[in-house]
A = this chain, B = another copy of it.
Amino acid sequence: MHSSDTSKPKRAAGDKAAARGPKQRLVDQHRGNSELVEQEEQRKDLGFGTRINESVSRLINKDGTFNVNRRNEGFWNRINIYHRLITIPWIKFLGLVLTFYLSSNVVFATLYSLLGYENLSGIENVTPDTPIGRFMGAFFFSSQTLTTVGYGHISPVGYWTSGLAAIESMFGLLLFALATGLLYGRFSRPVAHIRFSRNAVFAPYLDINGWMFRIINERGNQLIDVQVEVSLSRLETKADGSSYRRYYGLKLERTKVNFFPANWTLVHPITDDSPLYNCTAEQLADSDAEFLILLRGVEDTFNQTVHCRYSYRYNEVRWGEKFKPMFSGSMDGEGTVTVDLNQLDETEPVSLN
């Protein structure tokens, strides 16, 4: 619900409305906002809207997804098989592949058994002549057909069994084609492996203070043209005492780097036009503050754009701490700059300006 107040009841217009054209009526002194200011505020809400006026657990989860429930989503839309098969962990993916392979073979083995084991020539040489043995023979024949390995020591005889084997081998090829696409999709999918420092900090910056966090690229591949946007979301109180969620863009010392070879400390300098100016830890907590971070970059191997979201809630921000250096200059004597990734979260107390 991004548009604020689309259903506001008709205002008691009084004498003022008579003297104003519709354009002017947008600039409503009672609201104390020009249209442009209103739009500017809107622009910073990132798409959450102002109606989330109670404390929420958080807007952006730690894995970058949004903390939004979707009720009555259609079953197939919710499932979105391909999307899920691409994003689930590898161990789960391989488990699913194995499960699907086994159950497909069970289904086809059952069908072959219904068509009669006598139509699987050679089955008697492979497994014992017991119900389980025959079924397992059909199972193995099915697996040899599905994977197109087709040894032929068991072979189909007669119209129906041969026909079913013809169908199964085509089915196997399509499955294989699918697996190929999924494996390629999983590998080539662009993902930003950015690690954010566990906490953000309020630390001295030049001769004022700054709100800071630190990031590294977890992977050895290069990220280039990295851009970061930070917004502050917090509850504020209107003149009539009702609360609403307001969003501020936080100006950063620097919003883009061409290369990202090491670590990057992002700093929002708390100047007197910052929404954090004179803000205390208690006020942050009371206003249910959350810092929303959006990062974009280009992954260098495939030159794909990658996105990454993160957020720090008020209780993940430390006051009066600064980050310890990760960057040890060229201390190895070979003129190579060295970065210690383990130091990412390390902070030490410091007195604020």
Contact = CB atoms under 8 A, between A and B. Distances in A.
> What is the predominant secondary structure among interface residues of chain A facing chain B?
mixed
A71 B336 contact: no
Given A300-B307, A342-B72, A221 B83 contact: yes
A198 interface: no
Contacts of A218: 73-74, 77
Copies in the complex: 4
B68 A338 contact: yes
B53 A329 contact: yes
Interface in A196-229: 203-208, 210, 212, 218-222, 224, 226, 229
Nearest to A277: B22
B7 A322 contact: yes
Contact of A48 (B80, B176, B180, B259): B259
Name the residue among A72, A305, A342 with the largest chain B CB count within 10 angstroms. Answer: A72
Nearest to A49: B327
A140 to B, nearest CB: 4
Contact of A222 (B66, B163, B267, B277): B66
A81 to B, nearest CB: 9
B185 A6 contact: no
Contacts of A269: 26, 35
A162 B149 contact: no
A336 B67 contact: yes
Interface in A327-350: 327, 329-330, 332, 334-342, 350
A148 to B, nearest CB: 4
B72 A341 contact: yes
B181 A173 contact: no
B329 A52 contact: yes
Contacts of A193: 77
B185 A220 contact: no
A147 B74 CA distance: 37
A91 to B, nearest CB: 13
A19 interface: no
B73 A341 contact: yes
A270 interface: yes
A339 B70 CA distance: 5
Interface stretch (A110-118, A153-161, A279-287): A153-161
Given A6-B267, A181-B183, A337 B56 contact: yes
10 contacts: A3-B267, A6-B265, A7-B350, A43-B256, A67-B335, A73-B220, A74-B341, A173-B176, A176-B177, A189-B301
